[in-house]
Chains A and B, each alone.
Chain A
Amino acid sequence: MTPADFGRRFLLLAAVLLGCAATLVAQNEPAHHPMASAMIAADGKTQGPANVAAPHNEFVIRGATVLTGSHGAIQNGSVYVRNGKIVAVGESVNAPASASVIDARGKYVTPGIIDSHSHMALDGDVNELTNPVVPHMMMIDAFDYRDKALYHALAGGVTSALLLHGSGDMIGGQAVVIKLKYGRSRDEMLFPNAPRSIKFASGENPKRVFGSRNQLPSTRMGNFEVMRQALQEGREYMRDWDDYNTKVKNGDKNARPPRRDLRLEALADILRGNLLVQIHCYRSDEMLTEMAIAKEFGYKVRAFHHALEAYKVAPQLAAEGVGIATFSDWWGFKDEAKDAIPWNAVIAMRKGVKVAIKSDSDDFVRRLNQEAAKAIRYGGATEDEALQMITINPAWIMGIDDRTGSLDVGKDADIVIWNGPPLSSYALADKVFIDGDLYFDRSLPGFGLVQFHGTPGVGAATEGFPGDDHEEVH
């Protein structure tokens, strides 16, 4: 598909969606997702498409050490980009003479870094703590797209991120997937048609939040019973709608639709498999409990986040196809992080778990390459494996691995040029491209920003959020 085709399909899709929405209102058409909106596509499985104009760019990066993230390193390699997509990668590529050339001799090229656990750019609006189950809280509604944290992350080579709720609630709400196109409009920063994710949590944080008010849940027993209760409500809501839709399908003119309830709708969407389930927990027993609940209610867990004891139950995670998004070496900041070991990532990986290293921090998001490199030191990951922990593996956790996360033909041109080997203490991101457009260039005076004009942070609401578990240590 050429980029022009892509653009046309995009417009077509947008038109179809508008049409769907209209139909929905008019006929309560059950074939389309009842929450379909700018934020939820008609299939109910992805976040809505942003109105992004197809990028127009064409260049070739030459002479670099290209770390593809999927098929090893290419010495003296080239990457050819056209209209936002990678067109060719290899020792030599056939780029037309019209394509501009970026001389990257002595440099390293990697896919853009992906952070699968971030709370940046939310002005601290990460926990609606008035109820332990608030699956209908939409992160997009809090996304502060001018936050300077996005700039800092971009300068560290980050091109996509999953902005998640905090961990004070058992079910905190639905995340948003962004591209770090700092300087563009809010909607242009949304990752078009990325799968929807929802955040669960268990353990000390919900215990502390609700326990301190003498409310349920103040124990892990309470944690999981609250979960089961909520999912049961979702199951009954789904049944009521399924019954109604069956009646409509059978021509029952007297069928009355159940009340539309956003909270229950979101719970039902978990059970329908419309949401990637991202679960904050630390202890291995909680992972086993969460997987058992998922089995009981018939949904899949996509990934455990933090997952500091994943190394203890890695075979069980691998068997269920559950990934982890973990810290490289954080430990001891709370009791449930006491058994954290820096070998967690590599042990889990060797036992078949897909492993991402994530930041959960406006600080660490700036140097995820160093955090991934620790997997080489602690357990002997290869450079490829370490790089995958911050590229294709987090992309998988977010369900965007067919679109980004490696340097492969047809993927989005989300690319970082580094001044040296990226998996080290010394690497600096020289240039960061997203969809083939340059967003950060270290050599520029001022802020090094290409698309952003002004002062990062001015006009933004937020002063930053330290991460859902970092506030306890900093």
Chain B
Amino acid sequence: MNCRTAELPNCRIESNRKPGWRSACFALALLVCATPLLAQEQAANAGAPIAIRGGKVMTITHGTIPNGVVVMENGKITAAGPAASTPVPANARVIDATGMTVYPGIIDAESHLGLQEIGSDQMTSDLAEPSDEIMPHMHVYDAFHAETELIPVTRLNGITNAVVAPAEADTLPGQDSFIQLAGRDRDEMILVRDIALPVNVSGQQRRGGGGAGGGGGPRFPSTRMGVASQLRQTLLDAQDYMRRAANPQAAAGSDQAGEGQRAHGGSGGGGFHRDLKMEALIPYLRGERPVILSAQTSNEVLTAMSIAREFNLKVVLNHMERADDILDTIAAYKVPVIVGSIWTLPETGDRYDAEYRLPAELVKRGVKIAFASYSDTHNARNLPYAAGYSVAYGLPYEEAMKALTINPAEMFGVADKLGSLDPGKTANVVIANGDPLDVKTDVKHVFIAGREIPLVNRQTELRDEYWPKK
């Protein structure tokens, strides 16, 4: 069937009445085309094992096998090894991958997938709540839009999983969710509802200040000092809340609670009050989940890390772009780093390739890195090329592949299920006709949780409609 929205008859009728008809048609087209296709495909794939044979298999964790076999069944990888020693089940659907590359699905370490549809249209965005800098009780899963067209576009380039984060506008903008880029509905696509807490100390959280004229924005915090002290106070309050929450009776009876404590679950008289904002921070203060600490420049990294250490937070450094003078210090932190974007423009005084070289410089010092599409959500499909360009600037190829797969899986605590072609892991497998990091390479098959994803989306529908006829 033809899925071009303009040709759906009821869209034309709508067009005369409602300004939002295009969106309505868009949603309708998705319902009509995408969902049933996927559902049918999933049904067809259920049951028999699938074996990929003859390709170059990048396992990530145990090397690259020139002529390998990958077998998956019931959504899991059951075997990945050399053709000579890896049997193909007799009832398997066999995919000939001769001349192709087989690798685990790519993981985007930070994106806004599902939080944004049309970049310039605020009504299609759920990115952050800038009314307050401290919003850790916001949950990406409450806004995640499973039917976004960005996901079918992104997964066609072999990206199968992503961390979805709120925008960087707030110091604590809310908690990240971890998704797979396919599924029946939202609940099947969100694998971990609250996986990590972004903590942003990158200057962008200053309210109307930005340092011009010595700070002086209209609202606190208008300086980096303000942002840092507010963050410290919040974490202190949360520690306090955590202690009292552990023993609510005592807390309710206590008369020591001060002003701040009343505001955060203290006893303003009466029983213990749950405070969702403070409660949200507890798993992070306990070190049970990582904080994703965004700091772009050297001074920001130093400030952010000193706060993180004061509170024993489990840190993944994020958005690091301009800290090349303290790379050894960063290595000594022994924390992983989500790097860049490497496409950030160099500062005055920097060589043109200052950002491009950063991944290689970090890895040289033993730092575990990952790549992210960040706010460039529509172009998340291009994530492998940032890794490729980093290879051109000295990043070892195997490290670039790890930075797209096992490294982010480890950073976010899902490496037992994702990030490599190992038996027992979720069968997120990609087959491409060449090097996955090269812009020329075409992805030919994508499996998510063992199900083959049809290589169609709204863009391919349009392509097929207008492709030159012989």
Q: Which residues of A contact B (CB under 8 A)?
A: 148-149, 151-152, 155, 204, 311-312, 314, 329-335, 338-343, 347, 350-351, 362-363, 366-367, 370, 373-374, 376-377, 423-428, 446-448, 455-458, 464, 472-474
Contact of A424 among B348, B440, B467 (CB under 8 A): B440
- Chain B residues near A374: list those with CB within 8 A: 439-440
A338-B118, A425-B438, A427-B392 known; A312 vs B459 contact (CB < 8 Å):
no
- Interchain CB contact under 8 A, A474 and B348: no
Task: Provide the bound-state CA to CA distance between A199 and B375, in Å.
Answer: 29
Task: Provide the bound-state CA to CA distance between A351 and B466, in Å.
Answer: 10
CB pairs A–B below 8 angstroms (26 shown): A152-B346, A204-B120, A314-B466, A330-B378, A330-B379, A333-B120, A334-B118, A334-B120, A347-B463, A347-B467, A362-B345, A370-B389, A373-B439, A376-B439, A376-B440, A377-B440, A377-B442, A424-B439, A425-B392, A425-B437, A425-B439, A426-B438, A447-B352, A472-B119, A473-B376, A473-B378
Contact of B385 among A331, A370, A447 (CB under 8 A): A370
- Chain A residues near B150: list those with CB within 8 A: 332
CB distance from A350 to the nearest CB of B (A): 5
In addition to A335-B118, A428-B392, A457-B348, 18 A-B residue pairs with Cβ atoms within 8 Å of each other are A148-B348, A155-B353, A331-B153, A332-B119, A332-B149, A332-B378, A333-B120, A334-B118, A338-B22, A341-B463, A347-B466, A377-B439, A425-B438, A446-B351, A448-B352, A458-B348, A472-B120, A474-B375
- Interchain CB contact under 8 A, A426 and B468: no
CB distance from A252 to the nearest CB of B (A): 56
- Interchain CB contact under 8 A, A377 and B378: no
- Chain A residues near B343: list those with CB within 8 A: 363
- Chain B residues near A474: list those with CB within 8 A: 375-376
- Chain A residues near B449: list those with CB within 8 A: none
Is B388 part of the contact surface with A, judged by Cβ < 8 Å? yes
Q: Which residue of A lies closest to B121 (CB)?
A: A335
- Chain B residues near A152: list those with CB within 8 A: 345-346, 352
Is B67 part of the contact surface with A, judged by Cβ < 8 Å? no
Task: Provide the bound-state CA to CA distance between A373 and B442, in Å.
Answer: 12
- Chain B residues near A338: list those with CB within 8 A: 22, 26, 118
Task: Provide the bound-state CA to CA distance between A377 and B433, in Å.
Answer: 10
CB distance from B301 to the nearest CB of A (A): 22
- Mark each residue of chain B from 350 to 393: 1 if its CB lies under 8 Å from any CB of chain A, else 0: 01110000000000000000000001101101100100110111
- Interchain CB contact under 8 A, A343 and B463: yes
A311-B466, A447-B352, A448-B351 known; A341 vs B459 contact (CB < 8 Å):
yes
Task: Provide the bound-state CA to CA distance between A411 and B337, in Å.
Answer: 48
- Interchain CB contact under 8 A, A335 and B348: no
Contact of A456 among B117, B348, B442 (CB under 8 A): B348
Interface size class of B (residues with CB under 8 A): 35 or more
A152-B345, A311-B466, A347-B467 known; A333 vs B391 contact (CB < 8 Å):
no
CB distance from B154 to the nearest CB of A (A): 11
Q: Looking at B352, B378, B382, which has the most chain A CB atoms within 10 Å of its CB?
A: B352
CB distance from A311 to the nearest CB of B (A): 5
A347-B468, A448-B351 known; A331 vs B346 contact (CB < 8 Å):
no
- Interchain CB contact under 8 A, A424 and B351: no
Is B10 part of the contact surface with A, judged by Cβ < 8 Å? no
- Interchain CB contact under 8 A, A425 and B120: no
Is B441 part of the contact surface with A, judged by Cβ < 8 Å? yes
CB distance from B104 to the nearest CB of A (A): 19
Is B31 part of the contact surface with A, judged by Cβ < 8 Å? no
- Chain A residues near B385: list those with CB within 8 A: 370, 425
CB distance from B243 to the nearest CB of A (A): 43
- Interchain CB contact under 8 A, A335 and B120: yes
Task: Provide the bound-state CA to CA distance between A464 and B348, in Å.
Answer: 11
Contact of B438 among A204, A331, A424 (CB under 8 A): A424
A350-B468, A447-B351, A447-B352 known; A367 vs B119 contact (CB < 8 Å):
no
- Chain A residues near B442: list those with CB within 8 A: 377
- Chain A residues near B441: list those with CB within 8 A: 377
- Chain B residues near A334: list those with CB within 8 A: 118-121
CB distance from B22 to the nearest CB of A (A): 7
- Chain B residues near A329: list those with CB within 8 A: 379, 381-382
A151-B352, A425-B392, A457-B349 known; A339 vs B462 contact (CB < 8 Å):
yes
CB distance from B150 to the nearest CB of A (A): 7
CB distance from A380 to the nearest CB of B (A): 9
Task: Provide the bound-state CA to CA distance between A462 and B150, in Å.
Answer: 34
Enumerate B247-266 residues with CB–CB distance to A below 8 Å. Answer: none
- Chain A residues near B119: list those with CB within 8 A: 332-334, 472-473
- Chain A residues near B153: list those with CB within 8 A: 331
Task: Provide the bound-state CA to CA distance between A447 and B348, in Å.
Answer: 11
CB distance from B319 to the nearest CB of A (A): 14
CB distance from B2 to the nearest CB of A (A): 14
CB distance from A147 to the nearest CB of B (A): 10
- Chain A residues near B353: list those with CB within 8 A: 155
- Interchain CB contact under 8 A, A425 and B463: no
A152-B345, A335-B118, A362-B345 known; A426 vs B392 contact (CB < 8 Å):
yes
- Interchain CB contact under 8 A, A425 and B391: yes
- Interchain CB contact under 8 A, A367 and B348: no
CB distance from A329 to the nearest CB of B (A): 7
Q: Looking at A155, A338, A339, A428, which has the most chain B CB atoms within 10 Å of its CB?
A: A338
Task: Provide the bound-state CA to CA distance between A151 and B441, in Å.
Answer: 30
- Chain A residues near B459: list those with CB within 8 A: 331, 340-343
- Mark each residue of chain B from 99 to 141: 1 if its CB lies under 8 Å from any CB of chain A, else 0: 0000000000000000001111100000000000000000000
Task: Provide the bound-state CA to CA distance between A350 and B435, in Å.
Answer: 26
Task: Provide the bound-state CA to CA distance between A149 and B353, in Å.
Answer: 13
CB distance from B385 to the nearest CB of A (A): 5
Q: Which residue of B lies closest to A442 (CB)?
A: B353
- Chain B residues near A155: list those with CB within 8 A: 352-353
